[in-house]
């Protein structure tokens, strides 16, 4: 009966990995029996996405904007003296009226204003590009996860076929090699996603990063 099941079925549950490389267990057989639903669930599984619009709006509202400028500084002062008696009469010095005004005016010329505006546009564009890369990396990681699950299905099927003499061990080794490659690709992508997150967090002020981290986790 077991041989019949092995020959008919071609795959295993997408969430199950081979726990014993040498022997077929009841768990393997039960998984193989669910081939149709397993493959369907894998094909229709939701894709991981992030609310990029909400994340972008939060970053723009809490952007860490520090621009170096060289403003034009104008300083002015004015004094007024009202001498009602002889200036040299020290006994009546209290009758002098004195007023003083000091003012400093900082002006950004048109060129500097435009440079700052261009810098803001470039910064906001950099945020969009970074979020796009982050979203693409998430999608690629999601695809690799599905690929990894699928190749584990193929590996357990290959084990069953090898035990039944349908394929050679070398054919199964090829499948295992593909699993190892996919696992390594997943590791690289996962590290890249963490770097994407650090870049995203660096866009905002330090006191806003905890909230933003919760949005991109």
Coil, helix or strand at residue 19? coil
Label residue 6 by pLDDT band (50, 70, 90): very low
Does 215 or 161 have the greater pLDDT score? 215
Token reading at 200: 């995203």
CA atoms within 13 A on the CB side of 32: 24
Domain of 143 in residue numbering reads as 2-67+110-216
Are residue 80 and residue 186 in the same domain, yes or no? no
Report, as an integer, the average pLDDT of 97-105: 57
144-162 pLDDT, tens per residue?
Answer: 999 998 888 888 888 888 8
pLDDT at 9: 39
pLDDT at 65: 77
DSSP 172-195: HHHHHHHHHHHHHHHHHHHHHHHH
What span, in angstroms and rounded, lies between the C-alpha atoms of 202 and 126? 12
Do residues 208 and 55 make contact, with C-beta atoms less than 8 angstroms apart?
A: no
Does 98 or 214 have the greater pLDDT score? 214
Q: How many domains is the chain built from? A: 2
Token reading at 133: 């890369």
Are residue 126 and residue 187 in the same domain, yes or no? yes
Report yes or no on whether pTM surpasses 0.75. no
Are residue 100 and residue 23 in the same domain, yes or no? no
183-206 pLDDT, tens per residue?
Answer: 999 999 999 999 999 999 999 999
Do residues 73 and 105 make contact, with C-beta atoms less than 8 angstroms apart?
A: yes
């Amino acid at each position: 009966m077991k041989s019949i099941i092995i020959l008919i079925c071609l795959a295993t549950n997408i969430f199950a990995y081979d726990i014993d490389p040498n022997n077929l267990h009841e768990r393997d057989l039960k998984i193989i029996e669910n081939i149709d639903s397993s493959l369907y669930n894998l094909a229709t599984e939701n894709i991981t996405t992030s609310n990029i619009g909400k994340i972008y709006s939060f970053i723009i509202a809490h952007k860490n904007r520090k621009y170096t400028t060289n403003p034009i500084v104008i300083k002015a002062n004015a004094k007024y003296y009202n001498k009602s008696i002889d200036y040299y009469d020290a006994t009546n010095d209290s009758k002098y009226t004195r007023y003083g005004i000091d003012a400093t005016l900082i002006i950004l010329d048109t060129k500097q204003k435009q440079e700052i505006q261009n810098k803001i546009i470039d910064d906001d564009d950099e945020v969009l590009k970074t979020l796009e890369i982050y979203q693409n990396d998430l999608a690629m990681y999601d695809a690799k996860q599905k690929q990894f699950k699928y190749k584990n299905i193929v590996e357990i099927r290959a084990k069953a076929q090898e035990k039944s003499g349908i394929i050679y061990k070398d054919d199964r080794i090829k499948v295992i090699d593909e699993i190892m490659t996919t696992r390594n690709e997943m590791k690289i992508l996962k590290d890249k996603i963490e770097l994407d997150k650090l870049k995203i967090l660096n866009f905002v002020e330090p006191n806003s990063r905890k909230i933003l981290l919760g949005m991109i986790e």
